[in-house]
């Protein structure tokens, strides 16, 4: 230990024992070097400046290291390849057909096996078949792949890892699909294109949400951001009045009876996002199309469907985008589990809530729903019943016009019903009654082209 000088109570003192026992070695070296070289004292403020700069420097280094090691970002890829053992079927041309769903699910399951069984298993998020196109050699597949890579992973390395796993494992991971190896192509999409690609597909949620319990929309489960991105609120003179579903960036579908209170588009606005206040987006209404055959006479609830055209386009994000519409021929089986969502009342005639709620309900057959003690024959083919005969779980006032949705086996959500009516809320033998969307599928297409 060198002979050093320390400032103490206004005097210089000399000492030979360690003068800076509590400081880190780095600091001691810096301070002692300065003291030694100058042979004079170091002012306390200088020591403070040195300490502070060393701390800031260390914090910056630690921050940068942890940012690159622990900060993740989504990276999107588009993979294309040829399947040689499946002949092209014209039904593959439309995303909503059973044929498209079946083959896409097979491909998505294979993708999951390819990456989950590799060293990229923790980085793989999901795959989504974008298109199935005709090819003389079979079916040409285009699939979007989403990964979560650390920011420190270079783009080139990430791409080559995904590419090599895909080439190595695609052939062996499917027992059903024959993939022509020579046709595999992988391109990275930038974030904007990747986000657009995923958000422009109907019925997709940004992550898999788990749901437990069957509770009433009321004191039941609150929805989380991005859980039901197609849910809209339609508001009369600025107040929530009904629910609605986003079916494209300019069209919403809702119930006709919502417009009994007024049909002038300029009195209506639509808001998006799980909170009514503040919403994620808000739009003016350009046009309201009520089903021509809806007459609004109680108790006639037939043709309870309307379309709302927005004055400007919604900006699709992971929190706000469209739900899929089922084909007119789609058959909804009894006892299927569906979800109804809305800002409606917690009890019959109660007020609306600010945060969106959800409830799981089951499809009840029209035969059961038309029983004398239930709705005694008033349920028509254009309606469907959902809920529980024992009551409790149900939609309520203010949920009207909102979505009843069901996920298919690919995890893509379809609008199967529109909250329409019921005898109060949650009563035994009085389940919720919904407009059956498949019955109006062609009507929706005729008005919107969707």
The encoded tokens of residue 129 equal 């078949």
The nearer residue to ligand 4AZ, 203 or 422, going by C-beta atoms, is 422
User: DSSP assignment of 407-428, as one string?
Assistant: E-TTS-EEEEEEEEE-SSSS-T
**Looking only at residues 132 through 171 of this chain, which bind ligand 4AZ when binding is defined by CB under 6 A?**
none
Query: Which residues are registered as beta bridge partners of 246?
Result: 252
The nearer residue to ligand 4AZ, 206 or 257, going by C-beta atoms, is 257
Catalytic residue check, 219 = no
SS3 content of the chain, % helix, strand, coil (to 5): 25, 30, 45
How far is Cα of residue 5 from the mean position of the Cα atoms in its chain?
66
DSSP secondary-structure letter at 57?
A: H
Residue in 158, 174, 245, 400 annotated catalytic: 400
The encoded tokens of residue 263 equal 């049909």
Residue in 257, 291, 301, 321 annotated catalytic: 257
* Closest distance of CB 281 from ligand 4AZ, Å: 25
The nearer residue to ligand 4AZ, 202 or 437, going by C-beta atoms, is 437
* Closest distance of CB 197 from ligand 4AZ, Å: 36
The encoded tokens of residue 292 equal 């021509």
C-alpha pair distances (Å), 123 with each of 33, 106, 111, 148, 161: 49, 21, 13, 5, 11
**Looking only at residues 405 through 444 of this chain, which bind ligand 4AZ when binding is defined by CB under 6 A?**
419, 421-422, 425, 432
Residue in 195, 304, 319, 399 annotated catalytic: 304
Query: Which residues are registered as beta bridge partners of 114?
Result: none
The nearer residue to ligand 4AZ, 108 or 394, going by C-beta atoms, is 394
Catalytic residue check, 257 = yes
The encoded tokens of residue 368 equal 């059961």
* Closest distance of CB 230 from ligand 4AZ, Å: 19
| Region of residue 352 (phi > 0: left; psi between -120 and 50: alpha; otherwise: beta) | beta
C-alpha pair distances (Å), 411 with each of 157, 202, 205, 405, 418: 30, 11, 9, 12, 20
The CA radius of gyration of the chain, in Å to the nearest whole number, is 31
* Closest distance of CB 211 from ligand 4AZ, Å: 20
The nearer residue to ligand 4AZ, 132 or 395, going by C-beta atoms, is 395
The encoded tokens of residue 270 equal 């639509």
Angle at 42 between CA 36 and CA 44, to 5 degrees: 150
The nearer residue to ligand 4AZ, 100 or 241, going by C-beta atoms, is 241
Give the number of other CB atoms < 10 A from CB of residue 193: 13
* Closest distance of CB 424 from ligand 4AZ, Å: 6
The nearer residue to ligand 4AZ, 92 or 421, going by C-beta atoms, is 421
User: DSSP assignment of 316-381, as one string?
Assistant: --SSS-PPBPPPTT----TT-EEEEEES--SSTT----SB-EEEEEEEE-HHHHTSTTTTTT---T
* Closest distance of CB 258 from ligand 4AZ, Å: 9
- The verdict on 96 binding ligand 4AZ (CB under 6 A) reads no
Residue 242 CA to residue 255 CA, distance in Å, equals: 8
* Closest distance of CB 394 from ligand 4AZ, Å: 4
Contacts with ligand 4AZ: how many residues (CB under 6 A)?
A: 11
* Closest distance of CB 431 from ligand 4AZ, Å: 8
**Looking only at residues 388 through 407 of this chain, which bind ligand 4AZ when binding is defined by CB under 6 A?**
394-397, 399-400
DSSP secondary-structure letter at 275?
A: B
Question: What residue is closest to ligand 4AZ based on CB?
Answer: 422
* Closest distance of CB 176 from ligand 4AZ, Å: 44
| Region of residue 273 (phi > 0: left; psi between -120 and 50: alpha; otherwise: beta) | left
The nearer residue to ligand 4AZ, 248 or 397, going by C-beta atoms, is 397
Q: Which residue has the tokens 């090819």?
A: 135
The encoded tokens of residue 341 equal 């969502």
Angle at 99 between CA 96 and CA 104, to 5 degrees: 80
Catalytic residue check, 74 = no
The nearer residue to ligand 4AZ, 69 or 428, going by C-beta atoms, is 428
User: Which residues of the chain form contacts with ligand 4AZ (CB under 6 A)?
Assistant: 394-397, 399-400, 419, 421-422, 425, 432
For the annotated catalytic residues, the residue numbers are 257, 304, 400
């Amino acid at each position: 230990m060198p002979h050093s000088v320390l400032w103490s109570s206004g005097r210089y003192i000399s000492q030979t024992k360690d003068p800076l026992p509590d400081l880190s070695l780095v600091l001691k070296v810096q301070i002692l070097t300065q003291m030694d070289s100058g042979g004079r004292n170091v002012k306390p403020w200088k020591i403070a400046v040195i300490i502070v700069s060393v701390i800031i420097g260390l914090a910056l280094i630690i921050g940068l290291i942890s940012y690159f090691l622990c900060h993740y970002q989504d990276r999107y890829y588009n993979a294309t390849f040829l399947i040689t053992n499946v002949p092209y079927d014209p039904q593959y041309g439309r995303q909503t057909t059973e044929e498209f769903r079946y083959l896409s699910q097979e491909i998505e399951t294979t993708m999951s096996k390819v990456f989950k069984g590799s060293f990229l298993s923790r980085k793989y998020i999901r795959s989504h078949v974008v298109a199935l196109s005709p090819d003389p050699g079979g079916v040409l597949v285009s699939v979007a792949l989403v990964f979560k890579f650390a920011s420190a992973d270079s783009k080139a390395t990430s791409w080559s890892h995904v590419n090599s796993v895909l080439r190595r494992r695609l052939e062996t991971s499917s027992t059903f699909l024959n993939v022509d190896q020579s046709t595999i192509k992988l391109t990275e999409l930038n974030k904007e294109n990747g986000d657009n690609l995923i958000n422009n597909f109907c019925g997709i949620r940004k992550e898999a949400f788990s749901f437990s319990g069957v509770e009433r929309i009321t004191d039941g489960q609150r929805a989380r951001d991005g859980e039901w991105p197609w849910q809209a609120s339609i508001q009369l003179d600025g107040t929530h009045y009904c629910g609605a579903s986003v079916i494209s960036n300019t069209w919403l579908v809702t119930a006709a009876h919502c417009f009994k209170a007024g049909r002038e588009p300029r009195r209506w606005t639509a808001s998006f996002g799980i909170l009514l206040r503040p919403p994620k987006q808000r739009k003016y209404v350009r046009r309201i199309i009520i089903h021509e055959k809806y007459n609004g006479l109680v108790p006639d609830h037939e043709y309870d469907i309307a379309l709302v055209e927005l004055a400007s386009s919604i900006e699709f994000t992971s929190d706000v985008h469209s739900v899929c519409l089922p084909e007119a021929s789609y058959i909804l089986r009894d006892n299927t589990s569906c979800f109804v969502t809305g800002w409606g009342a917690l009890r019959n005639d109660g007020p609306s809530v600010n945060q969106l709620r959800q409830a799981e309900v089951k499809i009840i057959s029209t035969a059961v729903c038309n029983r004398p003690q239930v709705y005694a024959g008033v349920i028509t083919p254009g309606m469907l019943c959902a809920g529980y005969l024992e009551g409790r779980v149900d939609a309520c006032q203010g949920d009207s016009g909102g979505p009843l949705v069901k996920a298919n086996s690919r995890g893509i959500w379809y609008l199967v019903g529109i909250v329409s009516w019921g005898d109060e809320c949650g009563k035994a033998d009085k389940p919720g009654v919904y407009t059956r969307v498949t019955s109006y599928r062609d009507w929706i297409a005729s008005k919107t082209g969707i």
